[in-house]
Amino acid sequence: MQTWMKTIIQIIFFVAISKLADFTVERFHLPMPPSVFGILLVFALLQSKIIPLKWMELGSSWLLAQMLLFFIPAAVGIIKYKSLIITSGLPITITIIASTIAVMMCSGLMGQWVSKLLRRSSE
């Protein structure tokens, strides 16, 4: 099968997982966002080896490469709130920078912790 066909099928898989997560969270009134549930579902499928990583590598790589396009509508939407940016732009910017640093630090620490666990379990 051609690479572009595999990529499209894998993207359809991610859309299906997203729709399944939306349905499940709504149906069972789960106290979490559907996107988080979808990530947990993909993680569980990968960890349990039900779905091998190669079945989603091309689609996920393409989606990550296109991610900037998903933020353009949000950036354009900011124009509607010019007065808010003028009055509260600095506190908003500081909050964004601080939260970005916090997420980066937590991700790094979590990555180190998981790496240590994996090293210990392989010994």
Cβ atoms of 18 and 43 closer than 8 Å:
no
- Whether pTM exceeds 0.75: no
pLDDT-derived band of residue 123, with 50, 70 and 90 as boundaries? confident
- Give pLDDT tens digits for 4-42: 999 999 999 999 999 999 999 999 999 999 999 999 999
First to last CA, the chain: 39
56: helix, coil or strand? coil
Spell out the residues 6+ positions from residue 63 whose beta carbon is closer than 8 angstroms to its own. 11, 14
Residue spans per domain, the chain: 1-65, 71-123
